[in-house]
Amino acid sequence: MVTRRDVSESWQEQARVTVPRAPTTRTAVVRTIDPGGEWVPANLLRFSVTFSAEMAEGSADGHIHLRDASGDDVPGALFSMTPELWDRERRRLTVLLEPGRVKRGLRPNLLAGAPLVEGSTVTLVVDPELRDSSGTELAEGTHRTYRVGAAVRTRLDPARWDVRWPGPGRNQLVVGFGRPLDRALVRRCLTVIDERGHLVTGRPTLDMDASVWTFAPGSRGGSWRLQIDTRLEDLAGNSVRRAFDRDLQHPDGDDYVNASTVVLHPDGHVERR
């Protein structure tokens, strides 16, 4: 019978060898940071960072910062999330500002104030230490600077949008929202349908600050309608359904719509479903 002691006495360590890690090439980069415009509202609710490759879960912790004009971190501005808010492909990360400080009347807001101050300048910084799914760091860090404007506390009202329907010499639908919206939600919440309610295929595009949406159809002709999921939001979390920071004493006012879908017709009629 061979005991553990016999095995340990028959084997002796002669040397230790360190195998160096195979050299890696940093290829992943930040493609976009949203909001994409120059200005953000003082009650901004979130940023979104999109990468060129699948990223590692948890790699963003401590490597994304919001800094003031002096280069100092804005204390307590960003909300730490576990798990992090990645999309399914782990390419787009949502970075929340502290909601309790954004919304008026809540204790964090009363004690510390809002994270952003109208008239100031802030910069979102992404460190190069973020890692892709292979464990390799980014090829480089990046940043985006914003000016902080006035807070926006009214719901999105499609009836007030600047809608240019197709007509002679123009076979595109162009919609001006009047304010920047959440880019990811625009992609999911806007569709074009025909008079029978069937989906119209085509190519939608959104400008840099996500305030103008253009739809080029795959074929000409037909009478269109614009269908809007009421979960569509602006940068401050105001949706078509309700204002994010609304007066709860008057829940049935203009800041609330009891519908899941709104349909805009070419004659200006607004249908709620």
Read off the pLDDT of each residue in 69-86 and give the average, rounded to a whole number.
94
Query: Smallest Cα–Cα separation from 33: which of 96, 124, 112, 110?
Result: 124
Q: From the CB of residue 175, how many other CB atoms can be counted at a distance below 10 Å?
A: 23
Query: Of 234 and 166, which is predicted with more confidence?
Result: 234
Q: Coil, strand, or helix at residue 29?
A: coil
4 has a pLDDT exceeding 60? no
Question: pLDDT band at 1, cuts 50/70/90?
Answer: low
40-72 pLDDT per residue, tens = 999 999 999 999 999 999 999 999 999 999 999
Confirm if 244 and 237 have CB atoms less than 8 A apart.
Answer: yes
Stated pTM of the model: 0.86
> What per-residue confidence (pLDDT) applies to 3?
59
**Highest-scoring range by mean pLDDT, 9-13, 101-105, 108-112, 186-190:** 186-190
Distances (CA, A) of 26 to 51, 139, 248: 13, 5, 50
- Termini Cα distance of the chain: 81
List, in sequence order, the alpha helices (H) in the chain: 4-10, 99-102, 107-112, 183-189
Q: Is 175 helix (H, G, I), strand (E, B) or coil?
A: strand
For the CA atoms of 87, 62, 82, 239, the dihedral, rounded to the nearest 10 degrees, stands at -50
pLDDT of 7 > 60? The answer is no
Q: What CATH fold (topology level) applies to the domain 158-272? A: Immunoglobulin-like (2.60.40)
What CATH number labels 30-149? 2.60.40.3710
Q: What is the pLDDT of residues 142-183, one digit of tens each?
A: 999 999 999 999 999 999 999 999 888 788 999 999 999 999
Question: Which letter does DSSP use for residue 189 in this model?
Answer: H
Q: Cα–Cα distance between 255 and 272 in angstroms, integer?
A: 15
Q: What is the mean pLDDT of residues 91-96?
A: 97
Name all contacts of 163-172 with Cβ < 8 Å and 24+ positions apart.
Answer: 163/226, 163/264, 165/224, 165/266, 166/217, 166/224, 171/216, 171/217, 171/220, 172/214, 172/215, 172/216, 172/217
Please confirm whether the linkage preceding 108 is cis (ω < 30° from 0): no
pLDDT confidence of residue 14: 76
